Every structure is written in structure tokens, then in C-alpha cells.
């Protein structure tokens, strides 16, 4: 856990998306996070290597770590 309280753990995709985009609807937050992942080729490849697929609802701690490493903490 860092100074602002973000903890690497398993998150629901929508839960993590809302942390990154708290001021938009859940649907928009999900779309935004999916877009960020899709636009980052290295992140996309790494996530798929760890079992990610479109529509996945639960992200493993490793998947969350990959996302945070690529785009920063929410």
C-alpha cells in the first residue's frame, strides 16, 4: 500500500475502472479503461499472457499490477 491507499489486490474490472474514472458513469469508466488497455500494445500483450480477455470481470492481482505499472495508480 502506498501513501494514498491504493492496494494491489484482485479487483473487479468495473471496480478498478471506477477508481481510474470516478466522475463518469460505470459504463464510461469501463469503456475508458478498455480503451487505455487496447491502445497500449505492450500492456495488452502482457495482460493476455496472464489470462485477460475482453469481458473478464475479475482481475487478478498480477493483472492489476500490470495495469498500474503501465498507466499509473488510480
- For the segment 39-45, the average pLDDT, to the nearest whole number, is 97
Sole residue written with cell 489470462: 51
What are the distances in angstroms from CA 4 to CA 7, 66, 73? 9, 19, 9
Write down the pTM of the prediction.
0.90
Confidence of residue 4 (pLDDT cuts 50, 70, 90): low
Mean pLDDT of the chain: 94
CA nearest to 31, candidates 63, 59, 54: 54
CA nearest to 58, candidates 5, 16, 1: 16
- Say what the pLDDT of residue 10 is: 98
- Say what the pLDDT of residue 2 is: 44
pLDDT digits (tens, 9 = 90+) for 15-31: 999 999 999 999 999 99
Amino acid at each position: 500500500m502506498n501513501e494514498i491507499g491504493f492496494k494491489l489486490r484482485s479487483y473487479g474490472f468495473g471496480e478498478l475502472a471506477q477508481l481510474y474514472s470516478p466522475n463518469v458513469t460505470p459504463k464510461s469508466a469501463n469503456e475508458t479503461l478498455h480503451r487505455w488497455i487496447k491502445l497500449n500494445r505492450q500492456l495488452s500483450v502482457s495482460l493476455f499472457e496472464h489470462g485477460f480477455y475482453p469481458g473478464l470481470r475479475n482481475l487478478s492481482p498480477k493483472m492489476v499490477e500490470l495495469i498500474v505499472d503501465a498507466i499509473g495508480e488510480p
